A and B are shown apart, each in its own frame.
Chain A
Amino acid sequence: MVMIKGRTKKSLILMGFILLFILSFFISIGNGAVKISPLGIVKAVLFQKDSVHYQVVWNVRLPRTIVAALVGVCLSLSGAILQGIMRNPLASPNIIGVSSGGGLMALIILILFPKYYYMVPLGAFTGALMATLFIYGLSWKAGVHPTRLILAGVAVSSLLNAGINGLMTFFPDRVAGVIGFMVGGLSATTWIQVGTILPYALAGMTLVQLLPQKLNILMLGDEVATGLGLNVEKTRFAFIILSSLLAGSAVSVVGLLGFVGLIVPHMTRLFIGSDYKYLFPAAIFLGGAIVMLCDTLSRILFAPMEIPVGIIMSALGAPFFLYLLRKKEAIR
């Protein structure tokens, strides 16, 4: 049986993802303690600026939904990039130390210097980037070999995680305050967080639209890519930094939600193939949609109690992902 993997099919799937994204957006804003219809949302925002609905939508749900979407976008783009440059399906933002580096910095601030809690986003962001640079430096030996980078990443991450666990062991009384950060959550999100993550998300989205061909070439292997005139080391370094910035900005806003960066790119790839011209836009919309939907669930499932979105992500995402994996293999 010949599988038709034409451009039309890919474009259709992409359109499906865009629809899903828009749908998720309205579902996320419309659901919660007060239910609002899509039409109600539009009306409230545009015409009834003094209504309760406006207050709910504009001050609470809209920033939260936007942050959820952007976090999804950043993490899935970051993962998609890393899986491409490492040519390894296990690559994810965690591998380049984003979670461990960002996490350790955030915990140092939260546990040792709780007065400076407002520095957490900046700290997490710098921590993530520093961990990435450290791992990259360690794995450099006349060039960076993807496997060496992954191994260095695993080693450094476990070292930093030891630091995280050590902190939590020495200050058990302060652990309660950091759980939210550790599992990743979106509660109490305001327009401030939107401002934090938006520049990175926008820059990332623009850049990846310009660069899919470079990643496609890099996927052919270092030597072939060199032969085709791609500066492999430079390109790989630029992409690693880009994905660290993307994932770091997400982690700094919502905490350690790294799982999205591992699973969403894979899901996208299973649906649309590995051509980055389609994979990037698809990862943007699917990543955004999935985090928005999971966040909605985290709000309404056990209302009025809220479960961190990271838990929902893993609890629902992993089984669904495994299902997809098996089903797709059966087709092949």
Chain B
Amino acid sequence: MGLEALDIHVKYGQKEVLKSIEFKISDGEITTIIGPNGSGKSTMIKVLSRCLNPCKGSVYLDGENLKNIATKKIAEKIAILPQIRNLSSDIIVEELVSHGRYPHLGFKQRLRTEDKEIVEWAMEKTGLIDFKNREVATLSGGERQRAWMAMTLAQRPKILILDEPTTFLDISYQLEVLELIKELNKSLGLTVIMVLHDLNQAARYSDNIYVLDNGSICEWGTPNEILRSDLIKRVFKIQSHIYEDDINQCLYFIPEKRV
């Protein structure tokens, strides 16, 4: 069970952005998509999260075609954090986070005690308690990112889909967000699909890595299978060296130069 994509094709006009993508994510795993700018990562995320209808192919959640499930039902299971978000309102942090409860609320849209506790929990997890009455628009890029993160956490999904969750964050919060994701993955069995640009972080935090290049998946596997200098050279056009990180028990790479 989990999330599965079969033979996905996406075209923007004449341009084929995704070509015959196959994708399988099992429950409880962290899967990372890496690839150069414009390789189709966000497009893939949009397809997986039903924001974009592929020209061909379908996505299946626990064996059922996403198209046949009510969007609210999907939202009870899948939360998404898209790459580009613009806010045209004066909403405060606490309200934004409580929108995460939307798919779980009844017709009257009242937050129950349980919902309020979850909202509080999500803000605590992301270090936002002190900001809860601030307008989101007045936060720094990193604080804002955490506020959006908190919203998806408040959704209490089974599957969390994140497009570049660490952009805008300083290294400390990058680590914190990734540790948080890992912890939720361990403690709640949360399935995570995310896009990362930092290959070392991808290697350290993922169970599986998919490499997208020019609209196709050119390689997929465990971090140890993916972090190879020939692959990195082919996809990202850089010469690099791979080392073993004994402390975190994963591979890491050091770029040398562009080729």
Contact = CB atoms under 8 A, between A and B. Distances in A.
Interface of A: 5, 87, 142, 213, 216-217, 219-224, 226-231, 273-275
Contact of A228 (B87, B88, B109, B155): B155
Interface string B70-114: 011111101111100111111110011001101100000100000
Contacts of A217: 99, 102
A217 B155 CA distance: 14
Contacts of B96: 220
A229 B72 contact: yes
A142 to B, nearest CB: 7
Interface string B52-78: 010000000000000000011111101
B91 A221 contact: no
A274 B136 CA distance: 13
Q: Is the contact region of chain B dominated by helix, strand, or loop, or is it mixed?
A: mixed
Interface of B: 46, 49-51, 53, 71-76, 78-82, 85-92, 95-96, 99-100, 102-103, 109, 135, 148, 151-152, 155
Contact of A274 (B50, B71, B76, B91): B91
A273 B103 CA distance: 24
B80 A227 contact: yes
Contact of A275 (B82, B91, B148, B155): B91
Contact of A223 (B71, B80, B109): B80
Contact of B78 (A222, A224, A227): A227
A9 to B, nearest CB: 12
Given A226-B49, A274-B91, A275-B91, A231 B82 contact: no
Nearest to A83: B88
26 contacts: A5-B92, A87-B86, A142-B53, A216-B89, A219-B87, A220-B96, A221-B82, A223-B49, A223-B51, A223-B82, A224-B82, A224-B148, A224-B151, A226-B50, A226-B51, A227-B78, A227-B82, A227-B155, A228-B103, A228-B155, A229-B71, A229-B75, A230-B72, A230-B102, A231-B72, A273-B90
Nearest to A86: B88
Contacts of B72: 229-231
Contacts, number: 81
Contacts of A5: 90, 92, 135
Name the 7 nearest CB pairs between A and B, nearest first.
A229-B75, A229-B103, A227-B80, A229-B72, A274-B89, A223-B82, A228-B102
B54 to A, nearest CB: 11
Nearest to A332: B138
A220 B87 contact: yes
A297 B44 CA distance: 59
B95 A229 contact: no
Nearest to B45: A223
B95 A213 contact: no
Given A275-B91, A275-B95, A223 B86 contact: no
Contacts of B81: 227
A219 B88 contact: yes
A226 B103 CA distance: 10
Q: Is the contact region of chain A dominated by helix, strand, or loop, or is it mixed?
A: loop
Contacts of B91: 216, 219, 274-275
A254 B147 CA distance: 46
A87 B88 CA distance: 7
Given A273-B90, A274-B90, A229 B74 contact: yes
Nearest to B95: A275
A13 to B, nearest CB: 14
Contact of A226 (B71, B76, B87, B100): B71
A216 B136 CA distance: 14
A192 to B, nearest CB: 37
A230 B155 CA distance: 13
A187 B61 CA distance: 61
B102 A229 contact: yes
Given A220-B85, A229-B72, 13 more contacts: A5-B92, A5-B135, A224-B148, A224-B151, A227-B49, A228-B100, A229-B71, A229-B74, A229-B103, A230-B71, A274-B89, A274-B91, A275-B90
B135 to A, nearest CB: 8
A227 B83 CA distance: 13
A229 B51 CA distance: 11
Contacts of B87: 219-221
Nearest to A228: B102
A221 B88 CA distance: 9
Nearest to B73: A229
Contacts of A224: 80, 82, 85, 148, 151
Nearest to A4: B133
Contacts of B102: 213, 217, 228-230
A213 B100 CA distance: 12
B84 to A, nearest CB: 8
Contacts of A221: 82, 85-87
B71 A231 contact: yes
A227 B88 contact: no
A56 B53 CA distance: 62
A227 B82 CA distance: 9
Contacts of A87: 86, 88
Contacts of B85: 220-221, 223-224
